[in-house]
Structures are given as structure tokens and as C-alpha cells.
Chain A
Amino acid sequence: MIINHPLLGPRDAQEFVYLGDASLIGRPDGMTEGAVDAFHDYLYLRDNPAGEHRELWYHEQGDRSWLVVTRNTVTHEVVSVEIARDVARKMGRSK
């Protein structure tokens, strides 16, 4: 597979390490009530779609960027690649 890195251009997926569903960006706040349930759902449950899937890849053999890759899990077609930090900020994550 090839991942078209937003900064570095097309790179073999072998340079990357895969983590999983980009929903992992949305880590709950550990200091709130009911955090155990929120963390259970966050850490363990997945949509696991057959189709487009937003997922986290890490360019370990490269620039150490975490990326959000939108990829079709049936065809493996890569639809888009974004810098994960940008995605996280758009989702409202900050400090």
C-alpha cells in the first residue's frame, strides 16, 4: 500500500505503524463522573466498517507524523490523508 503523506508525498505503507480507528483521538476526560464507562466505549468498541474507515497511522520510518488516513477497508483505496494533529484540533482537542 501507498500512503500519500501530506508533507512528504507518496510513501510505502511499510514505513508506517498502524494504530486503529481515528475515533481514538476522542479520548474522554478521566476526571469526570462515569469515566470508566466512557473509557470502556472509547477504548474497546469499534464501528469496524466494511467501507471507508478513518484510521491512525504513524510515520515511524519517516517524519514521526501521526496521520489520519481515510481508507476503504474493502478495496484498500486511500481516499484522503490528513495530519492527525490538524484533525484533532478540528475535533476541539487542545491541551
Chain B
Amino acid sequence: MRYSGWRVIREALTGHKGWTPAWRDPEPQAAYDILVVGGGGHGLATAYYLAKEFGQAKIAVLEKGYIGGGNVGRNTTIIRSNYLLDGNQPFYEFSLKLWEGLEQDFNYNAMVSQRGIINLFHTDAQRDAYTRRGNAMILHGADAEMLNRDQVRALYPFLNFDNARFPIKGALMQRRGGTVRHDAVAWGYARGADQRGVDIIQNCEVTGIRTEHGRVTGVDTTRGFIGAKKVGVAVAGSSSKVMAHAGMRLPMESHVLQAFVSEGLKPVIDGVMTYGAGHFYVSQSDKGGLVFGGDIDGYNSYAQRGNMPVVEDVAEGGMSLMPMIGRARLLRMWGGIMDMSMDGSPIIDKTDIDGLYFNGGWCYGGFKATPASGWCFAHLLATDQSHSTATAYRFDRFRKGLMIDEKGQGAQPNLH
């Protein structure tokens, strides 16, 4: 079924009887050519592009719970390509370009909205670093602008310009940055993949990875053994758990990142904003909630919930940046589990086991990466070659000293 405004009208006039399931719930087959482990945004995108762009068939996505229940279902919805380093920038720009055509591509309105993102700066050193970054972005074909204090004030007059502990000096802006309705990304990819014959199998947890002679043969699951020629694992947050089934230790830790939403408010913040003097970033959803977040809690966790110190830290940042939100109420807080990698950048790579591929380590940048991650992982699974924008995302970069460390924090995952 193709979605369109006409279809909505026709269904409205005929009692909505014609809507069909957005995706099927098939029983798993005995074997597939390619198994994608993980029905989150990245796994579903991988399956979608495998089927659509790389001509693959006999694909299944295995999801331990319900699809889209991981970080694609609990994030702050931001898309951007304002990265600094050569290893990252082309990939995220590729992703942003895919976002720009995504809805028409998969025929689902994910509300990709490019209302702009600004990164505020408060010191000369931050300005210098953003100048370096903005130039790197443009050199890689992305867009970037430098805003001075008055230009920031014109955009957001209610920010604290007058008695701030760390006065706003300006901002780096990417106008093509913005937000996306996050759940719709999972559903759109799922529906698109399903329509192209991909089996999406929910409530199917992988409990083992079987190999013979150094080659993967399939996976054990809570719904039995499923054979496969290739297995691609995209389970960020749980990467270490799943890859342990293949005897691998990964260069990452799992951490909890909290995010927050306020009660619905009439629009006050058009774009996305990050505070440069505290842990706080914010946007306002199309439903009216202020969506905001800050730093990770900082300790290893698989608990999908955090603690008050970070909640308060984020609120302090918010109140310092925009004291008008004092009377807005925080409605909900939640926590997601991040693969925090050793340099803050992801891995999309083969493993030492033939036919076993890995995608993870997204830290808290995974949502914006979803389309490119899916595309590049599909590229790797289908061709055994890294996609040109993802060549740096290798396991061996740590051994070789080729870290992609945007924040310059070294091998300490909770600082990335």
C-alpha cells in the first residue's frame, strides 16, 4: 500500500477499513541469506537498503522485543552533520543527505524538519574550535555559518544574554540540521523493508552465534536456530552482550543517557540549540514538548534509567541558558543505553569470523546516523567492502593509532 494524502482522504471517507498492517509478523524461516540482528533504526535501515539498494533477498531482522524499542525510540531526535574530523564528517553528511530524501524514498512521513541547529560558544577558544569545525564541515560539502552574539539574540531573544555566568559570544549554525520524528524512522524503514520481502521477526532474542571453521552458520534464538550465510549485528547498547556470543570483546562500554521532555507548550524554540557552558541541548517537538538532554550519567549501566544528579545538572544548564523555562514543567525522563566507544566514534566493520559483521559504538550520536549507518552496513554486508564514507570505522583503528576522537578525551568512554 502506498501512503498519500489521497489515500488518507479515501480511507477517511470509507471508515478506515482499507489500512493494512505496516509490516507483517512472519514466522522465522529455517535460514536466510542475511540476518540482521537488532530491529532498531540501524538494523531496520540496513535491511531496507539491503533489499532496496543492494538487490539482496532472503533477509530477516531479528528483534528481541518490539521494533524501534531501543534508542531510535528514546532519543532527542536531532539530525546534523556538524562533525569535525575527516573520519566522521563525510559519513554524517551522507546521512544528512539521506535524511533529506528519506520520506519520499520510503513513503513515510518521518517529519524530517531542517529548522537549523546552533552550537553556542562562550569563550574565544570555543569560537576558534568552532571556526575550525565550521570550515571542516564546508570543506566536506556540508553547510555551516558563524553567528555573532547579535545574530543569536535575533533568533532567540529569551536566552540569558545579560547576567550569565558564561556569556554567550556567538554560535556555529548548521541550517540543514534539525529534528525527525524518531519512532517514524523505525516504522518507515520497517514498512519499507517488509514491502520488499524482509521478514521482521519480533520477540526473537539471539542467544548464540554459531560458527563452523571460522565461518558463521546462523544464530540461536529464543525462537530456535536460524541459519544464515551472513549475520550483521546492529544492537547498539547491547553490542558487548551479543558479540560475546561470538567470543569477542569490544572497545566499548554501555552507559545510560537520560533525556527529557516537557509538557506541551506553544512554540517558543524553532530550531535546535546546544549550550556551550553546560550540559544542555534542546529543541521543541511538533507536538509542543521541549525535548532536551545533557550528559550521560557516567557509569556503566544497562538499566535504561538514570539518577537525579544528571537530571539536575541538565536543568541547571537549561535554567542558566533560558531562565524562562523555570515555569515549564518537565513531564517525563527516560534513559537509553549507549555503546560508548573508546574514541567516541562508531564501528562498521567485518569481524575475524567470516560472515559476521558488526555495526555499533554509536555513543549518543546514533540517531542522526541511522540512514547512513544502514546504507553503509548494507554496503558492507552485500559487497564485503566498506562504503567510501565509512572507511575509518574499523576495529583495528585502535591498534593502529587511528582514533577518531572528536572530543579529544582519549580512551575513556564516559567522556565522549
Known: A40-B398, A48-B253. A75 touches B303 (CB 8 A): yes
In the A-B complex, list the 9 residue pairs whose CB atoms are closest, starting with the nearest: A48-B240, A44-B251, A45-B249, A50-B302, A44-B398, A14-B309, A18-B299, A73-B300, A44-B342
**B→A interface (CB under 8 Å):** 238, 240-241, 244, 249-254, 298-303, 307, 309, 342, 398-399, 411-414
Least CB separation from B238: chain A residue:
A50
Q: How far is A20 from B340 in the complex, measured between Cα atoms in Å?
A: 12
| A46 close to B240 (CB less than 8 A) | yes
Give the docked Cα–Cα distance between A45 and B300 (Å).
14
- The CA-CA distance from A48 to B413 in the complex, in Å, is 11
The proximity string for A residues 32-68 relative to B, scoring 1 for CB distances below 8 Å and 0 otherwise, is 0000110011011111111001010000000000000
**Interchain CA distance A62-B238 in the complex, whole Å:** 34
In this complex, the member of B249, B300, B309, B398 whose beta carbon has the largest number of chain A beta carbons within 10 angstroms is B300
With a cutoff of 8 Å between Cβ atoms, the chain B residues found around residue A18 in the complex are 298-299, 414
Question: Which residues on the A side are within 8 Å of B300 (C-beta)?
Answer: 20-21, 48, 53, 55, 73
Contact A44 B254 (CB under 8 A): no
What are 23 inter-chain pairs, A to B, with CB distance below 8 A? Answer: A1-B299, A13-B307, A14-B309, A20-B300, A20-B412, A21-B300, A40-B399, A43-B342, A44-B398, A44-B411, A45-B251, A46-B240, A48-B241, A48-B249, A48-B252, A48-B253, A48-B254, A50-B238, A53-B300, A73-B254, A73-B302, A74-B303, A75-B303
In the complex, A89 has a CB within 8 A of chain B: no
- Distance A48 CA – B299 CA, assembled complex (angstroms): 11
Q: How far is the CA of A73 from the CA of B414 in the complex (A)?
A: 15
Pick from A43, A49, A55, A74: contact of B411, CB below 8 A. Answer: A43
Are B253 and A20 neighbours in the complex by a CB distance under 8 Å?
yes
- A70–B11 CA distance with the chains assembled, in angstroms: 57
Cα distance A41–B248 in the bound complex, in angstroms: 12
Supplied contacts A13-B307, A21-B300, 4 more A-B pairs, CB within 8 Å: A46-B251, A48-B252, A48-B300, A75-B303
User: Which residue of A is nearest B301, CB measured?
Assistant: A73
